Amino acid sequence: MDVNAAVAAAAAIAGVLTGVIAVLAFRWSEREQKRPTRTSLHTDPVLPPGVDTVLSVLRSSAVVLDESDAVVKASSAAYALGLVRGGKLAVEPMILMARDTRRDGEIRQVELDLPRRGTGRGEALAVSARVAPLGSRLVLLLVEDLTEARRIEAVRRDFVANVSHELKTPVGALSLLSEAVMGASEEPEAVERFAGRMQIEATRLTNLVQELIDLSRVQNDDPLEDAEPVRVDELVAEAIDRCRHQAGTKQITMAAGGTADLRLWGNRGQLAAALGNLVENAVNYSPARTRVGIAARRVTAPGGDLIEIAVTDQGIGISEKDKERVFERFYRVDPARSRATGGTGLGLAIVKHVAASHSGEVTVWSSEGQGSTFTLRLPEAGAARDRASGHQMPGLDEDDETGQTDGTTTVSSPYEPFSAPEVHP
């Protein structure tokens, strides 16, 4: 019995030792599997030295992919554009480009139109994608946002087309009228009639060229370079004098008034051109024997006092759909009337740019058949001069290239300025 007990005890001890050894061996095996080996160090995707720093300063959106198309590195711009979502590249054409480049090592580039994330308007995001190998296992994807560049190019293309069309009309008319004069050389009355028409077309052509020059100047010039205090009543008097002949021809009475001794800070020539364009439009689009009013006042605003100059007419008015576009270049509410008055469609675009460059705005109130009120709202001389001392005049907003405005103002009465004394042409 003692021998059997001893054997059983020895067997039990041996079994326990075997179990302990098996557990220790299992745990050691697990630890060895988790320990990085020389091979595994070469397998993990690691960016080459300096690449991370270079990618962080690039303006383009950057994405680095490994051999399984997983994102190793992505810039914040790539996330902002919606290229990377959930740690993966979300644009299938770019994934296919990356795979082709990984296979043959060739650099590829393509332009794509992607749906814009977060908008329900279905706008396309224009991008240029370039894929290149980065080391032996990684692929670098650089994406440039071309949306704004394409929009500006489209605006420029439309502008050139509109200018060409506007120049073609008077030039063609002058060519035809000159042929008519030559053919009617024996008829003095016909020659005189055709010559008068030629003068009208030549004047229209001159006005168009001049307004193109004015528009280019207000877009490129810094009003701070020649800024000075400008008296509002002098601007009003100059605008009235500019339109005195046209108003007299149509028996239109002009009324000027409001708060006296107001001053603006800016480029006198640009401010005079802007107000002159508003008054000229009011006269041109008003029927005979009506009135045009110009009134100025000071209004309180959080950033400093503003000067409002309102130009009101009793003209044809502007429809709701046209009010959103009247500040576009070459846009005309009534093309037939514009041809009759010699309008170029650039006057209000110039006004908008002048107002924006002087830290102000121009707004419109209108009702069809009742008239319109255009209001220039600009900083008063003191506040504007203080702001200008830091040379921080704000630029144009997102829609400046198109000349559009996104604001309207409501005037309690479209004929408010008529309470001022009348100025007869």
For residue 323, is pLDDT > 90?
no
Q: What is the mean pLDDT of residues 283-308?
A: 89
Query: What topology does CATH give the domain 147-220?
Result: Helix Hairpins (1.10.287)
pLDDT digits (tens, 9 = 90+) for 27-79: 655 554 445 443 333 344 566 676 777 777 677 888 898 888 888 888 888 88
Least confident among 2-6, 184-188, 358-362: 2-6
State residue 43's pLDDT score. Answer: 40
Beta strands 84-85 and 306-313: pairing type?
A: unpaired
Report in angstroms the alpha-carbon separations of 262 from 244, 281, 383, 394.
Answer: 23, 24, 13, 23
Domain 51-145: what homologous superfamily?
PAS domain (3.30.450.20)
For residue 358, is pLDDT > 50?
yes
Q: What is the mean pLDDT of residues 315-328?
A: 81
State residue 375's pLDDT score. Answer: 93
Considering the chain, tell me which residue range(s) the CATH 1.10.287.130 domain(s) occupy.
147-220
Least confident among 41-50, 181-190, 242-251: 41-50
Q: What are phi and psi of 351, to 5 degrees?
A: -60, -45
Q: What are the contacts of 91-95 at 24+ separation with CB within 8 A?
A: 91/129, 93/129, 94/129, 94/131, 94/141, 94/143, 95/69
State residue 15's pLDDT score. Answer: 62
Report in angstroms the alpha-carbon separations of 101 from 85, 94, 104, 134, 138.
Answer: 22, 10, 5, 10, 10
Considering the chain, tell me which residue range(s) the CATH 3.30.450.20 domain(s) occupy.
51-145
State residue 404's pLDDT score. Answer: 38
Give the CATH number of domain 223-423; options: 3.65.10.10, 3.50.40.10, 3.30.565.10, 3.20.20.70: 3.30.565.10
Considering the chain, tell me which residue range(s) the CATH 3.30.565.10 domain(s) occupy.
223-423
For residue 198, is pLDDT > 50?
yes
The model carries a pTM of 0.53
Report the distance separating Cα 344 and Cα 272, nearest Å: 18
- Cβ neighbours for 367, distance < 8 A, ≥ 6 positions apart: 317, 414
Of the candidates 343, 253, 238, the residue with the CA atom closest to the CA atom of residue 292: 253
Q: Would you call 424 helix, strand, or coil by DSSP?
A: coil
Instruction: Label residue 224 by pLDDT band (50, 70, 90).
Output: low
